[in-house]
Amino acid sequence: MKELDQRADLGLTQRPRRLRRTSAIRDLVAETGLSLRQLVQGHFVLEGAGRTEAIDALPGIVRRSVDGLLRAVETDLENGLRAVMLFALPAHKDAEASAARDELGLAPRAIAALRKAFGSDLVIFADVCMCPSTDHGHCGLLDADGEVRNDASVALLAEIALAQARAGADFVCPSDMMDGRVGAIRAALDAAGHTGTAILAYTAKYASAFYGPFRHAAGSAPAHGDRRGYQMDPRNRREALRELALDVQEGADLVMVKPALAYLDVIADCAAASPVPVAAYNVSGEYAMVQLAAREGLGEERALALEILHSIRRAGADLIVGYHGSRAAAEGWLPR
Ligand code: PBG
């Protein structure tokens, strides 16, 4: 008994709590940092002018026309948030996504307006996909049986990317998951002289239920079937490394894992293996969960969001695309 008491007094040489004693010490030894410079804010863009629409499924996020987008981005820039991911929602939808391929279409117009207003102060990422502008809601062209055709879709995706590059996007970001699209887009950009336009590839994009609010916002839910024939199976981990190797070989400048929160293992794998920076997409469903939890009084928005964002960084992501950025910047949650 006496021996035990002595151990309690003297024996505990290892006390990890010493490094948790004060806030200043904790900050000094924190293994992970997060700054506004690492966040990319997602925006939904509408045709027309003077339009702002709330999105029920995404509290705090709106769809807006280009004039409103310019004002929102100006505020973000003043607050230290410098990167946007654009999702254009053209009014016209058809089987071939013509609106997305239009050089004078909504995405190129939005990109050009942002570039004109903010020059190189703003980093513009543009989502390259067909689903917001197809009447069937799939991310590629369909054959007579309703199957998504890979190679024909890739050619159209390259056209979409080229229109965005011409308008001044810094990064074109294919989110369709067709095989070979990164290489095809790189070749199309280079052939047109856009050697400086970079590609952020949605590399490990899973067929996830967490995209629900986005599809609601974009009106892009598939009219029939689902996306499992092209997006990755959530049960797979190793396969992400195969996609990573292919995208890097095809010329991706940044690679991305999506969603983020349920795929931290995949982020860690990609961070360990990737020769290029790794982004993670903290998707609409993940964002909405935080908003709804906060609304129900189950947690505080800022604390929940920051814990999630730091977890994504801890897993190894260099940058994070998502929806918390504007709020974080406006309310000073994070350093610049
Ligand atoms: C388009 C696209 C989607 C998202 C980004 N680009 C939807 C989908 O694949 O169904 C989801 C983003 C989010 O949920 O925040 N293919």
- pLDDT 10s digits, 274-317: 999 999 999 999 999 999 999 999 999 999 999 999 999 999 99
Q: Which atom of ligand 1 is nearest to the CA of 287?
A: 15
- For residue 285, the ligand 1 atom closest to its alpha carbon is 14
The predicted structure's pLDDT at residue 245: 98
Is pLDDT of 25 > 60?
yes
Positions marked active-site: 205, 258
| Full set of structural domains in the chain with CATH | 34-256 (3.20.20.70)
Beta pairing partners, 254 = 200
pLDDT tens column, 93-139: 999 999 999 999 999 999 999 999 999 999 999 999 999 999 999 99
Of residues 95, 96, 93, 101, the one with CA closest to residue 128: 101
How many angstroms separate the CA atoms of 151 and 143, rounded? 12
Question: For residue 146, how far is its CA from the centre of ligand 1 (angstroms)?
Answer: 20
Could you identify the atom of ligand 1 that is nearest to the CA of residue 284?
Answer: 15
Residue 64 sits at the vertex; the CA angle it makes with 170 and 280, to the nearest 5 degrees, is 45
Is residue 111 within 8 Å of 67, Cβ to Cβ? no
Summarize pLDDT for 137-156 with one digit per residue, the tens.
999 999 988 889 999 999 99
Distance 277 CA to ligand 1 centre (A): 21
Q: How far is the centre of ligand 1, averaged over its atoms, from the C-alpha of 251 (Å)?
A: 22
Ligand 1 proximal residues by C-beta, below 6 Å: 127, 129, 131, 139, 175, 211, 214-215, 283-284
* Stated pTM of the model: 0.95
Choose the residue to mutate in 160, 175, 320 for probing ligand 1, maximizing ligand atoms within 8 Å of C-beta: 175
Nearest to 159 by CA among 201, 109, 99, 116: 99
What is residue 11's predicted lDDT score, i.e. its pLDDT?
A: 80
Q: What is the rounded CA–CA span in Å between residue 289 and residue 138?
A: 25
